[in-house]
Structure 1
Amino acid sequence: MSRRLLTLAIPFALGVVIIGHYNHELWSLFSSLRTPGARGRLGDALRNLNIPAKPLLISYASNTTPTHLYDRLDYRHPTGQIPDTTAIVLNWSRFQNVALIAGLLCGPWLDHTIAEVFVWNNSPHPISFEDFLGSGCSRKKLKIYNSPSNILFQARFLACSQANTPYCFIQDDDYLIRPEVIDSLHHRFVEFANHRPIHLLPAHEHLSSVLREVHSPDYAMHTSFAWLGHGAFLHQSRATEFLALMGWLNCTEEELSMADNYFTILSNQVPEIWVDQGIELGGGQPFTIGTEGDIRNRKHIEKAAQHLDFLISESTRQISEIPYFSTEDDYSNIPISRTPCVGASCVLETNIQLLPDGMSHVSHSAANILAIEEENAHLLGEDGQRHYIGHPAAHAVDGKPDTNFTSPSSAQKGEWIMIDALQSLGSKWMAVEMVWLVDHWMEVILRGCNFESSADRENWTATPHVLSCQDAVVETGKGFIECSMQIPVDGNGHQYFRAILNHDIARPWRISEVWLRGRGL
């Protein structure tokens, strides 16, 4: 499916160049999978994509730090955890991709999360279990449905509504999501009781969703739009309720086939979106490309917004049994950016302001959603768009020292960066260190921070220790230092670790990597 930005054409074009180069390497690898009997090489294909991830460095410091005493903190599933999620993938014209994705989803690294992989085949060419023999999927874990017709994106919601698990993970067939990212997404989704869907988005799509956010003056309407194909977790019941709402609205077959364009908008909830850097696979015959796809997407986003206006109107507000649609005001004026870690399961969060003041999000009608995006994109400007896309928070936890998260403006008092370890750290750890790979001038900001830990995100304990910084060795550049702060855990079950700035500093945040390492007893 075409997922192009509607207004951010220049930065997106840069992304196409990068992705296109990567696709060339991927498809040279996939060519070996097209030959008869070669599907067993899917494991080799995943390993070439660093799946599962190779161990990340514990330290970049140039001195003789005894790193053998430390481990990178990584989420570990509780013993006996029962998988509770159905992964859903649609097949149309990219079966090589679907086989690769199935191999990842059926891998042992997700045995505690993925109970079933449901491949819904919209193609007129039937597929069977034998086509997946090299994927590592068992007959018990892999479910295949050959659809009598191509019902496009309605299929993923029908598949989810039929799932035997409480949760669904949805992704497109031209995208690969790393297993540790799926684990982080699953853990956070299940941890919070409201079970609101969480969407993974690359930086340019994340920006588009943020710019489109719209709410009415009385907050009766509060929504935005986000794709599902880059990876999304949702409750099985939400898929059922969404399809019921589409029926309640008497949606046409065309609208049902474009269900993705309606899912987030009609919920009347601002979707939770995380920046992620999945692997673009490409290939095959896209559903729509270029201008045709943009026009179709605009049409159905606008139609979804019109449906939402109808639901909120006075004539329907008194109807209490409308499925899926919510009238609860859960809008937050404090935006929090979230991104999953690469190479280890954890989540980075920050309240650093990534967009300038003056963004317009208020409208009496949801139908203005695309006009609001265009207005905000103009206010942000091309340079601002490039910065947002080129230096997202995801670059601070991607395991690549040559990328970085950089704030768009100077560091402000009260700004914080937090890592969720996804588990309470018990008595097995003598100490935990929050470690930063940064430029020399970032030391000023870090020394202006208080370092804290918490078990519940509300009650924070400050560390009595002092920040330690030393030169770092990075192959891709010079001028790096590694700073670390020891944070005692003392068996207190702390899970969240953050640095919070205690005064303004006339320099932006710039972080190449941040991670947690622990020293066991």
Structure 2
Amino acid sequence: MLDKDQIRNPAPNFNRLFSRRSSTIRLTLVTLFIGTIIWIMILKPLAESDTLTSDTAKIKKESTQPTWQIDLKKTIDERFSVYKKEQFEEVALKKNRMIPVTAVLLNWKRMEALQTAVNYISKYPFIKEILVWNNNNKTRIYSKDFKLNNSDVELNVFNSEENLHDLSKYTTCSMAKYDYCYFQDDDWLNLYMDSLYTNFLENPNLIHSNSMPVIYLESRRWMFANVDKNLHTGFTWLGCGSFVSRAKVQRFLGQLGSISLIKDRLKLADRYFTLWTNQYPYQLSNPLTPLDQKDGWGVDQWNMVYNNILDATQKLYTALAVKSNSEFFAREEEKPYYNDRIIRAPCLNDKCLFLTNIDPFPHPSRVYYANNITHVRDQESKFNKLDFPSKFFWNNYAYHYAVDSDEKTCWNSFKIPKIGDYFGLQFIEPRFPKKITVISSRDFDASFYIRVSSGGNRWRTCNITSSNNTDHKNRNTFEFDCSNTVKNKQLIRFIRIEASRDFLEPFEICSLILDELNV
């Protein structure tokens, strides 16, 4: 008798997609299939799968961004989620605010790296389903090839007869059992699953992604705004770990049906998806952990990136200008608005997130997009005239250096803080802190308030009972009491150190120690 993993299925289970969708979504997706069915049908996917190498693998060659020095195997073995599988059982999900997720991974030629990624993310209880799509028709892979760390995870694999590249990421997500997908390529490992998921929980409608700092800087140049056309969008790489809504993916498939792309562009759908949501993605800036980086495209990566970003933006602009296409593209900017986003980077230990209201980069609306450029570099040149950190500065003083457990590296705010500006932490697991030590590279006075919040909306001021920096001028320890300000002694999820006066120079924060938690 044949192993069930070896039985071929003539096509992916698209019935699973249509069974749960509204009539509007169905009609939208039919548009896609009419436009692309001939091409898709030549794939004849088998039951069990993987795809293209991730985009950022090519970028690695141009990046001088240092990585956090870790023992990868030791970190993988020792890292576990703060979230519990009981929180994602059906009865619990009816009462709590947790969101179960389907992970979508693409494979090309890096089977060992794929196995590492699949095995690792299966540790996290919010990953309830894993779908693997194999784009390599010379290699067949099966569910039995993976060792999962959670027996409750449902794993399905699909083998394709043709390399669908990026497009398979979206067709696979459209078949997901759950309403949200987690994207992961096979050449990077996201060690900050809890952190990214925690930020995603706050605003699940937005795309949430990881970006290495130098690419985060580049992405700030690839944002496009035009208030007259309701254009407010940006690009981010998805393959290094990102959460997206399945509804946005299905809408994107409808967009592909309404705006035809040549086959080569369709295979590079990642360049279009984030831009066509017409929303600024929520990006966290942190070093990435590379896996196997071999077997890249072997093409002119940057030329392809620029061409497709420009084409995607031009098509979006045109669609927004034509009312007949309005149903395919969102026009309202989703909350939280760009200026209201304060979460910046995960802590190295994945137990917290660094937050600050100080953004050293200009708001995207400062660079007006009028659909009159011939190259993305034309848009970049407008951005480059504004005041923002250089690549050298950002490589040495980016957000994550405040929470990398290394007192020799520091985040520099770039801008000079004014009264009311702040920095702080969001905790993955709520707590009731009583002491925080702020370590700077320079003399650090006590001109601050300590404010805390349970939900991130209402902030209360704690009573500072002691402030001490006599032993080390650059090390200030605040002891504080929040018992009279937090109702019913709720556990605290956010803490911020807020300036009580205007400063004369930027903050330079090297480390934070909360009680005994050193970040």
> Does TM-score exceed 0.5, indicating one fold?
yes
Once residues 332 and 140 of structure 1 are traced to their aligned partners in structure 2, the CA distance between those partners, rounded to angstroms, is 35
Once residues 272 and 356 of structure 1 are traced to their aligned partners in structure 2, the CA distance between those partners, rounded to angstroms, is 15
Q: Which runs of 5+ in 2 are unaligned?
A: 1-53, 90-98
Q: Which amino acid aligns with 1:162?
A: M
- Relative distance call for 1:450 and 1:140 in structure 2 (3 A) is closer
Q: Which amino acid aligns with 1:262?
A: Y
Once residues 480 and 53 of structure 1 are traced to their aligned partners in structure 2, the CA distance between those partners, rounded to angstroms, is 32
Q: CA deviation at 1:360?
A: 4.2
Once residues 499 and 84 of structure 1 are traced to their aligned partners in structure 2, the CA distance between those partners, rounded to angstroms, is 33
Correspondence 1:13-162 to 2 at 5 A: 13-15=63-65, 18=66, 47-49=73-75, 51-53=77-79, 76-77=83-84, 79-82=86-89, 84-107=100-123, 110=124, 112-124=125-137, 125-133=139-147, 136=149, 141-162=154-175
Once residues 356 and 297 of structure 1 are traced to their aligned partners in structure 2, the CA distance between those partners, rounded to angstroms, is 23
In the alignment, which residue of structure 1 is the partner of 2:280? 270
In the alignment, which residue of structure 2 is the partner of 1:287? 297
Conserved? CA contact 2:188–2:289, under 8 Å: yes
Conserved? CA contact 1:352–1:415, under 8 Å: yes
DSSP 3-state at the match of 1:229: coil
In the alignment, which residue of structure 1 is the partner of 2:345? 339
In the alignment, which residue of structure 2 is the partner of 1:185? 196
In the alignment, which residue of structure 2 is the partner of 1:436? 438
In the alignment, which residue of structure 1 is the partner of 2:358? 352
1:400-455 alpha-carbon deviations (Å, 9 max, x no partner): 33322112243322211132224554xxx4x43333232351x22xx111111123
Once residues 228 and 458 of structure 1 are traced to their aligned partners in structure 2, the CA distance between those partners, rounded to angstroms, is 28
1:154-186 alpha-carbon deviations (Å, 9 max, x no partner): 1111111111112111122111111xx212222
- Relative distance call for 1:518 and 1:343 in structure 2 (3 A) is same
1:228-271 alpha-carbon deviations (Å, 9 max, x no partner): 01211011222111111111112222222101000111111111
Once residues 205 and 395 of structure 2 are traced to their aligned partners in structure 1, the CA distance between those partners, rounded to angstroms, is 28
Once residues 79 and 130 of structure 1 are traced to their aligned partners in structure 2, the CA distance between those partners, rounded to angstroms, is 26
- Relative distance call for 1:139 and 1:359 in structure 2 (3 A) is closer
In the alignment, which residue of structure 1 is the partner of 2:26? none
Relative to the length of structure 2, the TM-score reads 0.77
In the alignment, which residue of structure 2 is the partner of 1:421? 427
In the alignment, which residue of structure 1 is the partner of 2:332? 328
- Relative distance call for 1:337 and 1:5 in structure 2 (3 A) is farther
1:131-161 alpha-carbon deviations (Å, 9 max, x no partner): 324x546595322111111000111111111
Q: CA deviation at 1:283?
A: 2.7
Work out whether 1:484 is the aligned partner of 2:478. yes
In the alignment, which residue of structure 2 is the partner of 1:461? 460
In the alignment, which residue of structure 1 is the partner of 2:5? none
In the alignment, which residue of structure 2 is the partner of 1:448? 447
Once residues 379 and 505 of structure 2 are traced to their aligned partners in structure 1, the CA distance between those partners, rounded to angstroms, is 31
Q: Which amino acid aligns with 1:328?
A: E
Correspondence 1:353-392 to 2 at 5 A: 353-355=359-361, 360-365=366-371, 369-377=376-384, 379=386, 384-392=390-398
Once residues 436 and 457 of structure 2 are traced to their aligned partners in structure 1, the CA distance between those partners, rounded to angstroms, is 19
Conserved? CA contact 2:213–2:394, under 8 Å: yes
RMSD (Å) for aligned C-alpha atoms: 3.3
Q: Which amino acid aligns with 2:161?
A: P
Aligned length: 447
Once residues 378 and 288 of structure 1 are traced to their aligned partners in structure 2, the CA distance between those partners, rounded to angstroms, is 33
- Relative distance call for 1:94 and 1:351 in structure 2 (3 A) is same
In the alignment, which residue of structure 2 is the partner of 1:495? 493
Q: Which amino acid aligns with 2:314?
A: Q
1:15-40 alpha-carbon deviations (Å, 9 max, x no partner): 3xx56x98xxx9xxxxxxxxxxxxxx
- Relative distance call for 1:148 and 1:14 in structure 2 (3 A) is same
In the alignment, which residue of structure 2 is the partner of 1:65? none
Once residues 213 and 5 of structure 1 are traced to their aligned partners in structure 2, the CA distance between those partners, rounded to angstroms, is 21
Q: Which amino acid aligns with 1:326?
A: A
Conserved? CA contact 1:433–1:484, under 8 Å: yes
Conserved? CA contact 1:305–1:369, under 8 Å: no
Once residues 320 and 277 of structure 2 are traced to their aligned partners in structure 1, the CA distance between those partners, rounded to angstroms, is 11
Name which of structure 1's ranges 403-412 and 501-510 shifts more when overlaid on structure 2.
403-412
Correspondence 1:179-328 to 2 at 5 A: 181-192=192-203, 195-218=205-228, 220-288=230-298, 292-313=300-321, 316-322=322-328, 325-328=329-332
Work out which structure has the larger RCO, using CA pairs closer than 8 Å and 6 or more positions apart in sequence: 1
DSSP 3-state at the match of 1:511: strand
Conserved? CA contact 1:276–1:340, under 8 Å: yes
Once residues 156 and 252 of structure 1 are traced to their aligned partners in structure 2, the CA distance between those partners, rounded to angstroms, is 18
Q: Which amino acid aligns with 1:433?
A: K
Q: CA deviation at 1:304?
A: 0.4
- Relative distance call for 1:114 and 1:411 in structure 2 (3 A) is same
Q: Which amino acid aligns with 1:455?
A: S
Once residues 497 and 384 of structure 2 are traced to their aligned partners in structure 1, the CA distance between those partners, rounded to angstroms, is 31
Once residues 4 and 47 of structure 1 are traced to their aligned partners in structure 2, the CA distance between those partners, rounded to angstroms, is 21
Q: Which amino acid aligns with 2:135?
A: N
* Amino-acid identity (%): 21
Conserved? CA contact 1:75–1:344, under 8 Å: no
Once residues 424 and 473 of structure 2 are traced to their aligned partners in structure 1, the CA distance between those partners, rounded to angstroms, is 25
Conserved? CA contact 2:194–2:350, under 8 Å: no
DSSP 3-state at the match of 2:416: strand
Relative to the length of structure 1, the TM-score reads 0.77
Conserved? CA contact 2:58–2:301, under 8 Å: no
